Amino acid sequence: MTDHGSTIVREVITSTSNGADVMSALPGLVRQLLDEEAWREFTVQGLRGPVQHETFMSFVKTQPPRGLGGKAAALLALCGADGELRARVDCLLKGEVQRAATPGRPKKDSTTIVSSDRGYTATTVVARLKRDDPDLAQRVVNGEMSAYAAARAKGWKPPRIQVTTPERTAAHLCRHMTRDQLDELVNILIGVIDG
């Protein structure tokens, strides 16, 4: 979660709440919301702690300022004439993903789960799951878990560590690192600070 991501979410929520369907399109804002997955975790001024959503539909259905308040049509309107972006949003809203046609790693596209050199996307992860693990794919489509969580469960994605408060960062690290790795990290951090 970053201040930048929280700003993106706040702008999208404000735009959809203020009748964005009749305003100018803001496709760049929607693209950032999806590309950075800013909707997953963000801060809201006046609320204690970050707002977190496991699924895109949770973000869309939750009332402002924690979500879009069900204004899916307004979100689509923000995409303007950008057909590819509208298709991405529509796909996330409906949970519809095509089955992968060929075995192997999915092709890259633009709906990045997290920025990484592997380029996995929500669409391609679910497509691969539909081929390799249809039951898990259905859980993602039903909104029971995110595409990222499914990719983690299959070992296709490394863990994503969220750097927020020291306490939350430590909790994230403890979930994914052994005691020896944590001890090594502490020593490295002390060396960096003292160095």
pLDDT in tens, 146-177: 777 888 888 887 776 777 788 888 888 888 78
Return the SS3 of 41.
strand
**pLDDT class for 42, splitting at 50, 70, 90?**
very high
**pLDDT class for 120, splitting at 50, 70, 90?**
low
pTM for this structure?
A: 0.48
Average pLDDT over residues 114-132: 65
Question: Would the pLDDT of 96 be above 60?
Answer: no
Which residue's structure tokens are 């950032």? 32
Question: Rounded distance, CA 35 to CA 182, Å?
Answer: 30
